[in-house]
Structure 1
């Protein structure tokens, strides 16, 4: 197949969304398909191994770039920019299918007007961060994004969600059929890059950590509510006080945050903290190998790549039971402990158990290792192309589209 993939950013930009986009693109290219990635984070074109990468970025100072900054309107402008660039390539050699992320609906214009069937792969929806938006402008913009996502999903020829629970949440949010009741909504897990698989497989877990050596904790993520960063920092304060009072010592490494952003922390907490705003892949792998415990207290993850990476390295995880993906990957596999709520107190309680109990650490490290490697690029490409064939063979829109060709009424307030 000739496949187009729409994403807001692509490596070397670093985020869960870019890592997922690269895994999808590389898995499909590795299976012999012609894959072109369209991304908004650049304006030039290039290649990533066998994948063609084309920038859709708007020229600084252009009318489109100015409209892109406007609340609500900016989402439409971006979607049209994606379609305009894709159309140019489609006229040269037609695409069989287009895949786009659901997040802020970059594929909306293609879902509504073609030129090829759209498959939407659902990651974290815009609605999950609505609770942290306070200004009137941002609330209006987020509401528009939620509507754009719903329209794009309901005009897509097929949907993909990362887990069954994630698919059910998406189905309720976008008013589409759930994965278990609709052949056009599939559940497909994401794979991990071969370099992470190789490093993780080779990483051993220390049998005996000297008492005078601190337990190494690692957090990878942004400073945001969804990632549970507020609970992490509160837990750091609590654990630092307990370490001063006699608990075994620890050190927390944070990847994704500037140290200057945490200068207000008490000195006892800052003394046990290391921050890296950005690291390259080899350094990330080194830090994963050096960690004794991965702390990942997200309130919601569409899939939870950080859980998968931790398990590939055989590291015990402390996650949050509020996240369905954590309950699935960490809770059901026994790869670590779940904080009952995403609060500093509950998180500190579970982290302290692993800091102070070497037998417990070894137990969950072994369970984490056993649970690793559930998803590969081969399964990702095979399952994805099966969905593509469903989308290409679709005679019309999905079951949420009425016989008149218009979507069923939308409850914008929801």
Structure 2
């Protein structure tokens, strides 16, 4: 099939959507399909990537999209809460697939009704059941399906290195929505709950607009917390091999690719129950889901004090694949692609 993936956000910018769209393209090409990514993210030229000019994320023109997208069998638009390119592409192609990668907040108005009228005849999908449920409530007349993000479990499998202090890790963009400041508060509480004689280490991987504020906070009595900045996937994998538990503090986590990768590396995941991490974390099996920062701190402290339970969770995560392997996820995507392509042919005929 000829497949167009449209995403406002793409490499070299790093983030969940950016990496997932890139990985999906690689997997589809590996399965024998012709894939082109359309984006407004600046970067060097690359085969299979079309970079369109934009100002403040808004495309300057849609003429190239108008000319090229109808030539593809399937157009799959990957969007967040603000995705001008994805919305315009979906509007231009009858039967496009539109996947929402973000979890809307109930406290912040999001004009999804206007977006729905603008994009027209699309097939709405979401990266998790949590996001899909929100869309179904906001768009009661629309069918909303789930197209999960994917992971390669083998890539994250590394022998554990046993000689290390009890280590807590988290990987995120250091932006307000991911709640990095709340994470530091949770780490302070964990340190207070764990006996002083027990050596602790915490590593918060990532960069973003909150980097300086995070560094300033760490300098005020959190000398056991490390902020290495942005790391490659291979560096993160090595870090996970000498870690014990992964924290996901975001309350609006649409899916949680970083948490899924940590789970594949064998780490128990403690995450907020309000987001999409529950798609692959079952309480007491792969980790725990909590309802607030204090509960996260007490849950982690109790886990660190219980080596038998921690070892059981780690062993399960190392030896049990999640449902969201790329093999399954690509199969799921292609089934929807073929359905949409067949519907387009019927409408044309």
**TM-score under structure 1 normalisation?**
0.73
Q: Aligned partners of 1:388, 1:227: CA distance in 2, in Å? A: 32
Q: Aligned partners of 2:337, 2:279: CA distance in 1, in Å? A: 27
2:4–2:37 contact (8 Å) kept in structure 1: yes
Cα 1:171–1:298 change in 2 (3 A) is same
Q: Aligned with 2:323: secondary structure?
A: coil
After TM superposition, list the pairs within 5 Å mapping 1:273-284 onto structure 2: 273-284=225-236
Q: 2:23 corresponds to which residue?
A: 23
Q: 2:77 corresponds to which residue?
A: 100
Q: 2:121 corresponds to which residue?
A: 155
- 2:180 counterpart (208, 229, 232): 229
Q: Deviations over 1:318-341 (max 9, x none)?
A: 112222x23332125711122232
Q: Aligned partners of 1:387, 1:214: CA distance in 2, in Å? A: 46
Q: Deviations over 1:75-108 (max 9, x none)?
A: xx43x64x333334458xx212211113123332
Q: Aligned partners of 1:218, 1:152: CA distance in 2, in Å? A: 41
Larger radius of gyration, structure 1 or 2? Answer: 1
Q: Aligned partners of 1:376, 1:153: CA distance in 2, in Å? A: 30
Q: 2:239 corresponds to which residue?
A: 287
Q: Aligned partners of 1:43, 1:362: CA distance in 2, in Å? A: 43
Q: 1:56 corresponds to which residue?
A: 52
Q: 2:129 corresponds to which residue?
A: 164
Q: 1:203 corresponds to which residue?
A: 159
Q: Deviations over 1:335-360 (max 9, x none)?
A: 1122232x2x2221111112222112
1:289 offset after TM fit, Å? 1.7
1:28–1:381 contact (8 Å) kept in structure 2: yes
Cα 1:247–1:43 change in 2 (3 A) is closer
1:267 offset after TM fit, Å? 5.3
Size of the aligned set, in residue pairs, is: 343
Q: 2:89 corresponds to which residue?
A: 110
Q: Aligned partners of 1:8, 1:279: CA distance in 2, in Å? A: 23
Cα 1:285–1:85 change in 2 (3 A) is farther
Q: Aligned with 2:316: secondary structure?
A: helix
- 1:312 counterpart (264, 272, 275): 264
Q: Deviations over 1:227-258 (max 9, x none)?
A: 24233111122233445x63622111011147
Q: Flag as ranges the 4+ runs of structure 1 deviating above 6 A.
A: none
Does 28-37 or 297-306 show the bigger shift?
297-306
1:6 offset after TM fit, Å? 0.8
1:260 aligns with 2:212: yes
**Structure 2 segments unaligned to the other structure (5+ residues):** none
Cα 1:388–1:260 change in 2 (3 A) is same
Q: CA RMSD in A?
A: 3.0
Q: 1:334 corresponds to which residue?
A: 285
Q: Aligned partners of 1:289, 1:317: CA distance in 2, in Å? A: 14
Cα 1:247–1:360 change in 2 (3 A) is farther
**Structure 1 segments unaligned to the other structure (5+ residues):** 59-64, 69-73, 132-141, 397-414
Cα 1:176–1:43 change in 2 (3 A) is farther
1:152 offset after TM fit, Å? 5.3
